[in-house]
Amino acid sequence: MNSKTILELDKKRAYDINLNALINFEEATGKSLMKMKAGDEFSLKDIRALLWAGLNEFEEISLEEAGSLVNIHNIEKVSKKIMEVYENAIPEAKGSEGVKNKSRPVG
């Protein structure tokens, strides 16, 4: 699945959640997106870190700079968009309670 998208922030910015972004998020928060379950809450710090991790794949940006791109007027729209990208990047995150590694039948 393609997880790349364009976010409308201060300008159009490329955004992607790939392996590097997942690792950057984990290092910034101490949380593994691969272990999160459907229904787990994302704090504001988590949302900022996920935004930063995906933007940082295309341009060098700090956590604080990423956070300054979101305000009271666009936080709902931006949060919804990055969560859609997250769900596309990690399909198990959508509706599979407690699944850490999806087993696939062999043969």
pTM of the predicted model as reported, rounded to 2 decimal places? 0.78
β-bridge partners, 6 = 14
Q: pLDDT tens for residues 11-41?
A: 999 999 999 999 999 999 999 988 887 677 8
Spatial separation of the C-alpha atoms in residues 18 and 22, rounded to whole Å: 6
Residue 3 burial (CB < 10 Å; 0-12/13-18/19+)?
Answer: middle
Q: pLDDT tens for residues 59-93?
A: 999 999 999 999 999 999 999 998 888 888 776 65
Longest dimension (CA), the chain: 51
Instruction: Kindly indicate the confidence band of residue 2, based on its pLDDT and cuts at 50, 70 and 90.
Output: low
| pLDDT value at 46 more than 50 | yes
